Chains A and B, each alone.
Chain A
């Protein structure tokens, strides 16, 4: 039996109930036991001194590619979930576009079991919308949910067939799960490898216009409205896309959405020099788009910060730009980028920032997470908002190194991650 854990003297922020006090958090039996000032733990309690730190519900990342099964040279369920706790995440949602894809209950069970065996972050798989991610007919959604899937998506590719998307949103309602959508009109993005604009013109690369994303977001919002189904728009990168989501929310459409750290910290200028670590889909966009994503995370139009952690092997990114795959990793830089760009720049208070990284994503996917209410799972992240550190990709616990942030100076970092009442990660070399 695990010893109780007393996290003492931190600034406890629980956005789920608007709590923000200097207090202690006591965890026992894998759950939150109590939150309040001057708590006395049992004699055998392990004490964690959190003075000067922020103690919050465990962070949740609803968009992670773990690559297993099929591409274990990029990442495994064990390495990815270990990278997650190192980045402050106690809960992650895995994407189904593996090889074979997660499109049946056995595959969902495999991911869940491998996650439990690894014993780092909690893993909640998303299942596929369509069999083999082929975009033709619905995967066994109910059975996958029964096996533990918390949503469905064909992420990595859009659901091209509007009729199928309608069915997914309608059918999903019986099981209370959202349909997560990678919004892209393939006929408009075909052959593209970066944002369409002056940089793509100068570099001679085929561009992907923002309209490719906007048009599909609009379609999916209309379908969500038609069906009453829950839509989750993944990695929104455009100003117009955000406006569409904001309008839909105002009309009462059941939609949630996520923004990524790379879309609010980088623009297509990062591709300059044909840097394949900046090749990602949706692509890094213009400065106006970047600022719109930042503002939308701050005001909650985008409910979640999600990483779209997409590991690729060194050799795969070490190619001509057109030949390299899309994607970059983000689990171990998300807190630093988010705190530096949102909190340090005073766009958002700590409580709202933590909401976007914990409570918001938990609500979007109906996860038992994102709160420190007594009785909730004992998942806690301890953040040092003042920690200055330099990103060193070589030190990542992920199997991959494909980050555009290597060498960046950031402020804010997770110093401890507690999953189910046990310390799953503790920063050893915390700078003074």
Chain B
């Protein structure tokens, strides 16, 4: 049976196709749900009786745990399926995995997969709600949303802010979700990094492209620093990590020279001393741990809304502390 349409539609695949109002509503709902995690007893019966499968075809610690906490704090029943030690690693196709899960009458699937489009693929084939927890280089919408929430928390509003995404945009689903979400909420968006790590025609997405980090720091209010995976160096996208740090790394020295007080985000896991220096990560500009805290709230909001909850009844749904 197909669940009735919700405020977000059946699935959350990406931010590209969400309306500004939907994104705002998720952030507002997350704001309401934040408080649950501050209670001594961190559990409300919002998703009681709902069955959720966390289907992770790619290793993930932070995102999987964040989803799991969000699900458990809303009282859902959850099962984790990881790619190792399951039928997934025995050559079963994605479509068969999905159909088998469906046959067990689940309500939602949270999927992480290395192929772009995998979440859409699954969503088109099963009636359960599907939440994209990262598909290839395409999107990672809940990460985008938690970045938006964190920026909003610290700067009051996103409209009119100048946000620059620094580093490996080519391989980054986080970058794409950030670009769509930020543009929809009225931010000015730029990307900065070597052209080898930028996708083709990146400016056609509606962003500026800075080839030098000095230009980005001159311009930006907020930096969202992308992880540089070590295999990118081995594949020749950058000559060395040392050189990358020297020309594109975010250091305190660079931040101090900037004309504005810059907020620094990083989706993790960090390569300290490569794309971001330790004194930045642990310093006053950094809101990296706030991002992690907000991740749970944002995921609770998404789960609640996809399960049929309304943004305006979130307060009532979670009950008092």
Contact = CB atoms under 8 A, between A and B. Distances in A.
Interface stretch (A36-44, A63-71, A91-99, A313-321): A313-321
Contact of A201 (B135, B173, B204): B204
B137 A209 contact: no
B299 interface: no
Interface stretch (B111-119, B143-151, B257-265): B111-119
Contact of A322 (B93, B116, B201): B116
B121 A315 contact: no
A203 interface: yes
Interface in A193-244: 196-198, 200-207, 209
A389 interface: no
B16 A204 contact: no
Contacts, number: 66
B230 interface: no
Contacts of A247: none
Given A198-B200, A320-B121, A203 B205 contact: no
Contacts of B94: 319-320
Contacts of A49: none
A204 B120 CA distance: 13
A232 B299 CA distance: 56
A270 B205 CA distance: 19
Contacts of B93: 315, 318-319
A203 B138 CA distance: 5
Contacts of A203: 116-117, 138
B213 to A, nearest CB: 22
Nearest to A205: B116
Given A198-B201, A319-B94, A322-B136, A204 B118 contact: no
A138 B82 CA distance: 47
A273 to B, nearest CB: 7
B120 A318 contact: no
Interface residues of B, number: 24
B268 interface: no
A204 B205 contact: no
Interface string A154-193: 0000000000000000000000000000000000000000
B139 interface: yes
Contacts of A209: 200
Contacts of A201: 199-202, 204-205
B201 A274 contact: no
A346 interface: no
A273 B201 contact: no
B199 A200 contact: yes
Nearest to B95: A318
Contacts of B16: 202
Interface string B192-234: 0000000111101100000000000000000000000000000
Contacts of B113: 320
B200 A202 contact: no
User: 5 closest Cβ contacts across the A-B interface?
Assistant: A274-B117, A204-B138, A320-B115, A204-B137, A201-B199
Interface of B: 16, 93-95, 113, 115-118, 120-121, 135-139, 173, 176, 199-202, 204-205
8 contacts: A201-B199, A203-B116, A203-B138, A204-B173, A273-B120, A274-B120, A319-B94, A320-B113
Given A202-B205, A273-B120, A321-B115, 7 more contacts: A198-B200, A201-B200, A204-B138, A206-B137, A207-B200, A320-B116, A320-B118
Interface of A: 196-198, 200-207, 209, 273-274, 315, 318-323
